[in-house]
């Protein structure tokens, strides 16, 4: 067939048609694949339905983590996160009625117990949205000893930084409050140099890092980001991690830049921890409109996709971070023989 077409069209005519055919075939594949991604997201994400155990559990994690974050502020606001508490109680009741509890729904109850006891100890009434009866139910079945947040001083927090990888990795936590001391450009260069050890598909190294050292710009980005409200006054410097779409070849690679960017981000966080600098990643799960606004603010190339914002800074004194209890192995690992 190929031979016949070449004979009829000639070498250059054949090439002309072949290029257009490949273009069309890729365009159709692009539509099909993004359309299927859309269908799967529509069907299985929490956006359009909330019927499964996993979806209720996801909301529970979102809400208990929001309450944990309320505890790590220097000044804890009385009756904070009322809506989260109400939603959490209602979702935990749904689990009671229909499903079995797991690590995350169990820790959620402990976070609520801490919330209730904190308010009781400080004589702050919360009975209008969190009754003693519900507290007693959680308390009677909870055996966990951990608290919703952890407090350490600077020396304790960084004590495992130069030890073996298991201790090093266990000791990194998301820190959301920083001192006013600025990280110098020289230190930032060392950090980024170290982070660049991150592996990437075929060593394409598509990640780029913007270090923002200007508080006005930092605030603009954090306002758009929206996940660090309440901590923003103490954040003076941020990284914005992007990935350049120019480095991806196939339709199958349409989501690859999130993987390469994610690996880079993790290495950047480890590099910062190694240099005894605190950091907290801040979610960039944004719609295209917000992406466009950020691109304008930061003067990014159109081909660049922001992966994450990373608040950074030195820490001192009393360092507080969320417990963020991890799942046990049996909720994560499946071995297929």
- Contact pattern from residue 213 through residue 232 relative to ligand FMN, giving x for each residue in contact according to CB under 6 A and a dash for the rest: --------------xx----
Question: Using the rule CB under 6 A, is 84 a contact of ligand FMN?
Answer: no
Find the part of the chain contacting ligand FMN (CB under 6 A) among 1-9, 91-99, 115-123, 278-286: 278-286
Nearer to ligand FMN, 109 or 225 (CB): 225
Q: By Cβ distance, which residue is nearest to ligand FMN?
A: 227
Nearer to ligand FMN, 300 or 311 (CB): 311
Nearer to ligand FMN, 64 or 135 (CB): 64
Nearer to ligand FMN, 73 or 254 (CB): 73
Find the part of the chain contacting ligand FMN (CB under 6 A) among 19-27, 40-48, 49-57, 276-284: 276-284
Cα–Cα dist 287/129, whole Å: 34
Find the part of the chain contacting ligand FMN (CB under 6 A) among 177-185, 188-196, 288-296, 317-325: 317-325
Give the shortest CB-250-to-ligand FMN separation in angstroms.
25
Question: Using the rule CB under 6 A, is 281 a contact of ligand FMN?
Answer: yes
Contact 282, 61 (CB under 8 A): no
- Contact pattern from residue 58 through residue 77 relative to ligand FMN, giving x for each residue in contact according to CB under 6 A and a dash for the rest: -------x---x--------
Contact 124, 79 (CB under 8 A): yes
Give the shortest CB-211-to-ligand FMN separation in angstroms.
18
Q: Pick from 136, 283, 316, 318 the residue near ligand FMN by CB under 6 A.
A: 283
Question: Using the rule CB under 6 A, is 280 a contact of ligand FMN?
Answer: yes
Nearer to ligand FMN, 66 or 206 (CB): 66
Find the part of the chain contacting ligand FMN (CB under 6 A) among 121-129, 141-149, 183-191, 319-327: 319-327
Encode the chain in three state secondary structure: CHHHHHHHHHHHHHHHHHHHHHHHHHHHHHHHHHHHHHHHHHHHCCCCCCCCHHHHHHHHHHHHHHHHHHHCCCCCCCCCCHHHHHHHHHHHHHHHHHCCCCHHHHHHHHHHHHHHHHHHHCCCCCCCCCCHHHHHHHHHHCCCCCCCEEEEEHHHHCCCCCCCHHHHHHHCCECCCCCCCCCCHHHHHHHHHHHCCCCCHHHCCCEEEEEECCHHHHHHHHHHHCCCCCCHHHCCEEEEEEEEHHHCCCHHHCCHHHHHHHHHHHHHHHHHHHCCCEEEEEECCCCHHHHHHHHHHHCCCCCEEEEEEEEEECCCCEEEEECCCCCCHHHCCCCCC
Question: Using the rule CB under 6 A, is 322 a contact of ligand FMN?
Answer: yes
- Which chain residues interact with ligand FMN by CB under 6 A? 65, 69, 173-174, 176, 227-228, 280-283, 308, 321-322, 324
């Amino acid at each position: 067939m190929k031979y016949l077409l070449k004979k009829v069209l000639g070498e250059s005519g054949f090439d002309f048609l072949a290029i257009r055919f490949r273009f069309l075939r890729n365009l159709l594949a692009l539509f099909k694949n993004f359309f299927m991604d859309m269908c799967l997201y529509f069907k299985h994400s929490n956006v359009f339905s909330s019927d499964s155990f996993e979806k209720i559990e996801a909301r529970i994690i979102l809400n208990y983590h929001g309450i944990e974050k309320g505890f790590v502020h220097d000044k804890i606001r009385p009756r904070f996160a009322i809506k989260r508490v109400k939603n959490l109680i209602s979702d935990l009741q749904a689990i009671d009625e229909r499903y079995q509890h797991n690590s995350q729904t169990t820790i959620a109850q402990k976070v609520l117990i801490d919330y209730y006891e904190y308010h009781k100890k400080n004589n702050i009434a919360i009975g209008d949205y969190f009754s003693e009866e519900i507290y007693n139910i959680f308390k009677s079945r909870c055996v966990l000893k951990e608290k919703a947040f952890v407090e350490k001083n600077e020396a304790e927090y960084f004590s495992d930084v130069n030890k073996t990888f298991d201790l090093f990795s266990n000791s990194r936590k998301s820190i959301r409050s920083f001192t006013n001391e600025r990280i110098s450009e020289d230190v930032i260069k060392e950090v980024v140099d170290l982070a660049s050890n991150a592996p990437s598909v075929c060593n394409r190294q598509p990640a780029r890092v913007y270090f923002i050292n200007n508080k006005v710009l930092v605030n603009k980005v954090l306002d758009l980001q929206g996940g660090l409200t309440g901590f923003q006054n103490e954040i003076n410097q941020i990284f914005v991690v992007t990935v350049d779409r120019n480095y991806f070849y196939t339709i199958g690679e349409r989501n690859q830049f999130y993987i390469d960017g994610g690996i880079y981000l993790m290495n950047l966080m480890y590099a910062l921890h190694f240099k005894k600098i605190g950091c907290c990643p801040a979610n960039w799960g944004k719609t295209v409109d917000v992406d466009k606004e950020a691109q304008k603010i930061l003067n990014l190339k159109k081909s660049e996709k922001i992966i994450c914002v990373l608040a950074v800074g030195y820490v001192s004194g009393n360092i507080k971070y969320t417990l963020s209890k991890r799942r046990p192995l049996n909720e994560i690992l499946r071995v297929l023989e």
